[in-house]
Structures are given as structure tokens and as C-alpha cells.
Structure 1
Amino acid sequence: MELLRIIISVLLPPLGAFFKVGLGLQFWINLVLTLCGYFPGLVHVIWLLARK
């Protein structure tokens, strides 16, 4: 399941953040970062996944 979450996170960072934390603050931060540019959203979701 973790591998699937990583693949989804790379393709659509907000969706990966949603699967990890739900509709919380981190999801909205990731959505704004992804709208500003793909790379900031990707870095944020990788941080979320690595944080556990």
C-alpha cells in the first residue's frame, strides 16, 4: 500500500497528501504549494510521507 501511495503522490501531490492526512491543514498547504508549482507540492508530500 505504501508503494501505491508514493506513486500517487508523485503523479498528484494533493491526492497523496489527502490519502496520508485527510482534509486537514497539511492537505490545504499542499494544494496551495502545488498550485504555485509542481515541485513545491512534491517536496511537501514527500516530507509528509517520510514523517510518519
Structure 2
Amino acid sequence: MPFTGSDIIKIIFAVILPPLGVFLERGCGADLLINILLTCLGWIPGVIHALYIILKY
């Protein structure tokens, strides 16, 4: 499945600020809260989770 322009922007936001990438993909919900917690524990787990969410949906 090819990436759209919005997917590329979400991926860039996911690398810079992971919760923003998740918010743009899924909105305000459990995925966002999980990503905020992971980002507080470490930036890398937050980025991995954000990329997973963006690429899965």
C-alpha cells in the first residue's frame, strides 16, 4: 500500500514528537495515553509505538 502525503507528515511528527503523530492518526483515546506514557519513559519506545500505530492503521 503506497504512502500518502499525510502519512509521510504523520511519520515525521512521530519521529519528532510521538504523541502528536498518534493523535493525528487515532485521535484522543487509549493509544494516545499509552504513547504519552511510553514517551515519558523514553523517547525511543514512544517513537516505536507511534510508528506502529501509524503504519498499522
TM-score, normalising length from structure 2?
A: 0.86
Q: Which runs of 5+ in 2 are unaligned?
A: 1-5
* Identical residues among aligned pairs (%): 37
* Greater than 3 Å deviation, 4+ residue runs: none
For 1:18, the equivalent position in structure 2 comes to 23
Structure of larger gyration radius: 2
How many residues matched?
52
More helix per residue: 1 or 2?
A: 1
- RMSD (CA atoms): 0.6
TM-score, normalising length from structure 1?
A: 0.94
Q: Does 1:33 align with 2:38?
A: yes
